Chains A and B, each alone.
Chain A
């Protein structure tokens, strides 16, 4: 069964350092999402791509976060500089299309700890 791949699974970094996460969606899925999940809360959407284009980044802290999906396949989420409050699980999801009824498949996430 096809799955969304993410790496690394765990990342520990010091504040003010740069960190990057990678996501490979299910083959053929046009829509890719990055979510942040703080311990004890539900996931919060950071950015949504339709192919290589950003369709929603309203919740992305653009002063320090950036995301790209250059060829419309895999994607990278970067934080520079990392802050203590960025410690969270970063989840990637993909779906065939961008409609609400298109099931989103989540990857295992990257657990970020900022010290």
Chain B
């Protein structure tokens, strides 16, 4: 498979641990944020989203936190599993007349060790 992200930030955790992946965004007008997971050789897959009028949203094993004051987004994965190993991207959208245009961040490589 391909190797995405030779120079991306990396996070290594043990199976069962909780993982926290961070993302800083730059556009203060962004009002919608998404986390994507990209496995080797595949396209990005939607994980969870959050609107700017919220500061926390929970899904199955995942939680997204949004701090608009410092323009910071985080993804928490509970009880991380080997299948969670992938590159994780945050994406932001300014909505309005920008349609669905997403701006992706750099990405973080998550490696989960059994």
Contact = CB atoms under 8 A, between A and B. Distances in A.
Nearest to B46: A103
A45 B7 CA distance: 21
B8 A45 contact: no
A106 B49 contact: no
A87 interface: no
Contacts of A105: 46
Interface of A: 4, 31, 33, 37, 39-45, 48, 50, 55-56, 89, 91, 93, 95, 97-109, 111
27 contacts: A33-B100, A39-B3, A39-B4, A39-B6, A40-B7, A40-B8, A41-B106, A42-B91, A42-B104, A43-B44, A45-B102, A48-B99, A48-B100, A56-B99, A91-B43, A91-B44, A97-B100, A98-B99, A99-B99, A99-B100, A100-B32, A100-B98, A100-B101, A106-B43, A106-B44, A109-B43, A111-B2
B100 A42 contact: no
B36 to A, nearest CB: 8
Q: Interface majority SS on B: helix, strand, loop or mixed?
A: loop
